[in-house]
């Protein structure tokens, strides 16, 4: 049989990237070969995002491109997985994709061997396939950095969000499995590990006996951070994305563990109590600011990022101004700003009217974006003349290397490809909005 080739297209968040690493590992184990271009493949799988309408529109656009390929290669098999497939409970989305052969939620990737045998693409014994997709060992994209999923799903049911419907309720991986994965990564030379979960700090180990007896924490997520910080060879630990309500005193204390990145991404979504109530975020503006105060007491110089939605159902100018004032008060280093778009099947889609005009949404988004740029430009000036440690991720053909600092700031400096994967000390000469430029010392 000829070598069967596959191509993966990954859209969306870090969870999707981690899921694609498992998908690639599974396909590799079946004897398939990955190729860089869909034109070279017998199988193309698109790992989809469904968080916004624009994200789904990108999926439809890519599928149309693949449909053209199928006309020249009728034997091409096209698959769509990820959140878009996961949330399609009534088949309406599937019906809009007639050129797609395989349409399945992320967790169902374990059935791929059987489906590919049925379509005569491969001929293998799939009886030993994992029954749980998180048991599939990922094929990591980088030898120096790794995503490690510690949970899937979510129990919070924010009214705008598709995740509980696309990925199901929260399910936590055993601590023993997580620690075994991180231990192996550290031993293989990985420098940075990012722990992933939809509300990562709500993690509850199904096997708490897997934690060391000398672990100082009773909160399971804090305990997990402590364990990961003990592995020799690992240089930096990061996690995303926590929920404000699960920022316990112990989790906040664990932010100061020696290998924790000096950065926390804590989604707020709005500075208006009325908006937070309609979003079902289960905290108030005052609650969020209290969490920020406690974080700063434990780690005063920590850099903070957030997520904000503008133009949610019923948002008035006054409510939006409350978000602006909260942004100024917290002084975030970065924010991922989203214009609200209804997601079919969510509580907001069923219960609320999308009554903020497109023009108002775009204007509010621009206002916050301008504030963000102004804020980060000001905050970044403190790095000028300072020396920072950088885990080098890339080096281009002009000899400019780049990577993230301990504060998760992008740093550029002249270097060579030999630096990729190494931690380099860089003196910052110029601080811009999104990049710190400097020289290696």
CATH code of the domain in which 370 resides: 3.30.750.200
DSSP state, residue 27: H
Contacts of 3 (CB under 8 A, 6+ apart): 33
Domain membership of residue 75 (yes or no) is yes
Cα–Cα distance measured from residue 190 to residue 185, given in angstroms and rounded to the nearest whole number? 5
Same domain, 324 and 342: yes
Whether 37 and 87 share a structural domain = yes
**In 309-387, alpha helices (H):** 317-330, 347-351, 358-380
pLDDT at residue 89 in the model? 87
Q: How far is CA 55 from the centre of its chain?
A: 14
The verdict on 46 and 164 lying in the same domain is no
| CATH code assigned at 65 | 3.40.50.12160
Q: Is residue 20 part of a domain?
A: yes
**Model pLDDT, residue 123:** 87
3-state SS of the chain: helix, strand, coil percent to 5? 40, 20, 40
Domain identity same for 215 and 303: no
According to the model, what pLDDT value does residue 352 have? 98
Strand (E) or helix (H) holding 394: strand 387-395
Point out which residues pair with 337 in neighbouring strands. Answer: 308
Cα–Cα distances in angstroms (integers) from residue 365 to residues 30, 224, 323, 432, in the given order: 46, 37, 11, 21
CATH of the domain at 246: 3.30.750.210
Same domain, 76 and 179: no
At which of 261, 283, 317 does a domain end? Answer: 261
Number of domains in the chain: 4
For CA atoms 31, 33, 34, 39, the dihedral sign is negative
Three-state DSSP at 226 gives helix
- Is 123 in a helix, a strand, or coil? coil
Longest dimension (CA), the chain: 66
Residue 236 forms part of a structural domain: yes
Do both 14 and 129 map to the same domain? yes
Residues 46, 7: contact at Cβ < 8 Å? no
Domain boundary among the residues 237, 261, 285 is at 261
Residue 188 domain-assigned (yes or no): yes
Judge if 113 and 146 occupy the same domain.
no
Q: What is the pLDDT of residue 51?
A: 87
Q: How far is CA 110 from CA 105, 165, 190, 270, 312, in A?
A: 10, 19, 27, 38, 37
Mark whether 256 and 144 lie in a shared domain.
Answer: yes
Closest Cα to residue 166, out of 179, 180, 153? 153
Give the per-residue pLDDT at 316.
Answer: 98
Q: Is the peptide bond before 412 cis (omega within 30 degrees of 0)?
A: no
Q: Which secondary-structure segment (H or E) carries 80?
A: strand 77-82
Domain shared by 157 and 120, yes or no = no
Question: Could you tell me if 64 and 126 lie in one domain?
Answer: yes
Instruction: Give yes or no: residues 125 and 145 share one domain.
Output: no
State how far the Cα of 324 lies from the Cα of 374, in Å rounded to an integer: 13
Q: What is the mean pLDDT of each run of 10 residues along the chain (441 residues)?
A: 89 94 95 96 96 91 96 94 93 95 96 93 74 92 97 96 94 97 97 97 97 98 98 96 98 98 98 98 98 98 98 98 98 97 94 98 98 97 98 96 98 97 97 96 92
Q: What pLDDT is stored for residue 127 in this prediction?
A: 53
Question: CATH number for the domain including 435?
Answer: 2.40.50.140
278 in a structural domain:
no
Identify whether 279 is part of a domain.
no
Helix 317-330 to helix 358-380 angle (10° resolution) is 10
Give the separation between CA 16 and CA 22, rounded to whole angstroms.
10
284 in any annotated domain? no
- Residue of 34, 52, 54, 51 whose CA lies nearest to 43: 34
Residue 274 lies in a domain: no
Same structural domain for residues 55 and 124? yes
Q: Report the distance separating Cα 93 and Cα 320, nearest Å.
A: 33
pLDDT at 124: 77
Tell which of 102, 133, 164 closes a domain. 133
Task: Supply the range of the domain harboring residue 428.
Answer: 384-440
């Amino acid at each position: 049989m000829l070598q069967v080739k596959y191509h993966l297209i990954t859209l969306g968040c870090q969870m999707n990237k981690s899921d694609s690493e498992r998908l690639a590992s599974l396909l590799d184990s079946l004897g398939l070969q990955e190729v860089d271009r869909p034109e070279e493949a017998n199988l193309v799988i698109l790992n989809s995002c469904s968080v916004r309408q624009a994200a789904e529109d990108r999926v439809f656009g890519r599928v149309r491109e693949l449909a053209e390929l199928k006309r020249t290669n009728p034997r091409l098999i096209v698959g769509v997985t990820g959140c878009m497939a996961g949330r399609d409970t009534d088949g309406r989305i599937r019906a809009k994709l007639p050129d797609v052969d395989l349409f399945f939620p992320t967790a169902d990737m374990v059935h791929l061997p059987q489906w590919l045998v049925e379509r005569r693409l491969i001929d293998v014994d799939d009886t030993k396939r994992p029954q749980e997709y998180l048991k599939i060992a990922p094929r990591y994209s980088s030898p120096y950095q790794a995503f490690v999923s510690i949970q899937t799903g979510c129990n919070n049911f924010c009214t705008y969000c598709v995740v509980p419907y696309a990925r199901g309720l929260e399910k936590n991986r055993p601590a023993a499995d997580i620690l075994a994965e991180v231990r192996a990564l550290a031993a293989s030379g990985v420098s940075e590990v990012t722990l992933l979960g939809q509300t990562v700090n709500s993690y509850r180990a199904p096997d708490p006996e897997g934690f060391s007896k000398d672990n100082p924490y009773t909160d399971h997520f804090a305990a997990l951070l402590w364990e990961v910080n003990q592995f020799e060879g690992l240089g930096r630990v990061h996690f995303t994305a926590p929920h404000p309500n699960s920022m316990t005193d112990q989790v906040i204390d664990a932010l100061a563990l020696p290998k924790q990145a000096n950065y926390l991404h804590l989604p707020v979504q709005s500075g208006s109590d009325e908006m937070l109530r309609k979003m079902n975020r289960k905290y108030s503006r005052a609650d969020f600011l209290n969490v920020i105060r406690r974080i700063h007491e434990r780690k005063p110089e920590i850099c903070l990022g957030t997520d904000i939605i503008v133009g949610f159902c019923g948002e008035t100018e006054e409510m939006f101004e409350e978000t602006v004032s909260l942004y100024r008060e917290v002084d975030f280093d970065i924010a991922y700003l989203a214009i609200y778009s209804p997601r079919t099947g969510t509580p907001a889609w069923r219960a609320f009217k999308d009554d903020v005009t497109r023009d108002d949404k775009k204007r509010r988004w621009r206002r916050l974006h301008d504030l963000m740029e102004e804020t980060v430009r000001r905050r970044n000036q403190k790095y000028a003349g300072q020396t920072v440690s950088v885990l080098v991720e890339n080096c281009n053909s002009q000899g400019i290397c780049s990577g993230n600092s301990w504060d998760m700031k992008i740093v550029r400096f002249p270097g060579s490809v030999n630096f990729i994967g190494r931690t380099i000390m860089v003196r910052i000469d110029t601080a811009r909005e999104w990049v710190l430029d400097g020289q290696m010392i």
